Amino acid sequence: MKIATYYNNAKSAFSFVFDDGCYKESTLDAYENLKEVYEKTGVKIKITSAQTVGFLHEGLIDMWKKLISEGYADICGHSIDHCLCYNDVTDPTLLHKDAKETKEKLEAIYNTPVIAYVTPGGGSNQAGWDILKEYYYANRNGNDRLNDTYNMNLYDIGTFTARFAYDEKPYIENIEKTIEDGGWCVQMNHWLSKKEQDTHHAQKYETFLPEIMYLAEQVNKNNVWACSLNEMVKYIYLRDNSTLVVNKTEKGTEITLKTDLPTDIFNIPVSLIVENSVECVDIYANETIII
Ligand SMILES: [Zn+2]
């Protein structure tokens, strides 16, 4: 008996992170697409919004609260003002202040633990990661890389940057590559655009719906787990920092997932692969189940 690499023993995993948290109309368009995919396929894709505190205002916060409450989004930190770089630690007090205040302010606004960070401006280095470790469980960087969740630095999570493309082909190919490799892809988005000059940071609007529709079809084949960045971070920590205690009893096999991780934060199930069974079994931190 063991904990599956990914939830439901899927072959691979895929996450979307939308940076900055401030592209309202584009976000609402993406939300309509996510809803359409859910209605057609039954797959609810939850994106992670990396939020810059200084970019937020009441209308944006209300929009994100609605998306969060409907299960289409969760959040992580993306600095106070988007001006710092975590690969320049000349003045570490500035970075400590940014990491701490970003977390505290977002937690106060959304009333939820903020466990992950996304470094603004792409880069960060070991000294930056050491600071982030005091406040967060993980950090996404700008490096173009597919992640092997057993051999990775959780403070240097690689990403696939969604750039302007005329059709959905590069996005679909990236999902295919993720499934083939069995890795975890984190796609970095900013906004959805109709303008060709947005070549670097934006994904063409018409390519998003076919991409997520394809992803949902692959989810239904269990080729991929579509999870938020936060869900995967929690899954990896639980998978790699828990012990399975197994006892045969009169009622059946009693299994406890023992961990010292805080259960108020690590509140998602992991999947157990049980011998002689094709179905996985869900178990939460410090929960005991009988099978
Ligand atoms: Zn940004």
Same domain, 258 and 198: no
| 8 contacts 278 by C-beta, under 8 angstroms | no
Domain co-membership, 97 together with 224? yes
Q: Based on the fold, state whether residues 230 and 246 are members of the same structural domain.
A: no
Domain identity same for 149 and 252: no
Residue-level pLDDT at 235:
98
Q: What are the strands, taking DSSP E only, across the chain?
A: 2-3, 13-20, 47-51, 73-77, 116-118, 138-144, 157-161, 184-189, 192-193, 203-204, 225-226, 242-249, 252-259, 270-273, 280-283, 288-290
The answer to whether residue 263 sits within a structural domain is: yes
pLDDT tens column, 81-110: 999 889 988 899 999 999 999 999 999 999
* C-alpha of residue 54 to centroid of ligand 1, in Å: 12
- The CA 211 to ligand 1 mean position distance, Å, reads 22
- SS3 of residue 175 by DSSP: helix
SS3 of 220, please?
Answer: helix
Q: Over the stretch 183-211, which tens digit does the pLDDT of each residue have?
A: 999 999 999 988 877 666 899 999 999 99
Cα of 222 from ligand 1 centre, angstroms: 32
Instruction: Let me know whether 228 and 270 are in one domain.
Output: no
What global pTM score does this model have?
0.96
pLDDT band (50, 70, 90) for residue 47: very high
Q: Is residue 3 situated within a structural domain?
A: no
**What are 135-154's pLDDT values in tens digits?**
999 999 988 999 999 999 99
| Distance between Cα 199 and ligand 1 center (Å) | 16
How far is residue 109's CA from residue 122's CA, in Å, rounded to a whole number? 25
The boundaries of the domain holding residue 91 are 10-234
More confident residue, 72 or 202: 72
Ligand 1 centroid to residue 49 C-alpha, Å: 10
Same domain, 256 and 164: no
User: 274 with 155, same domain?
Assistant: no
Q: What is the pLDDT of residues 154-170, one digit of tens each?
A: 999 999 999 888 899 99
Tell whether the model's pLDDT for residue 263 goes beyond 90.
yes
- The Cα–Cα gap between 184 and 171 comes to 15
Question: Which of the four pLDDT bands, split at 50, 70 and 90, describes residue 178?
Answer: very high
Work out the number of other CB atoms within 10 angstroms of the CB of residue 63: 17
Do 154 and 271 belong together in one domain?
no
Residue 17's pLDDT is: 97
Q: How many domains are contained in the chain?
A: 2
> Between 198 and 126, where is the model more confident?
126
In this structure, are 228 and 247 located in the same domain?
A: no
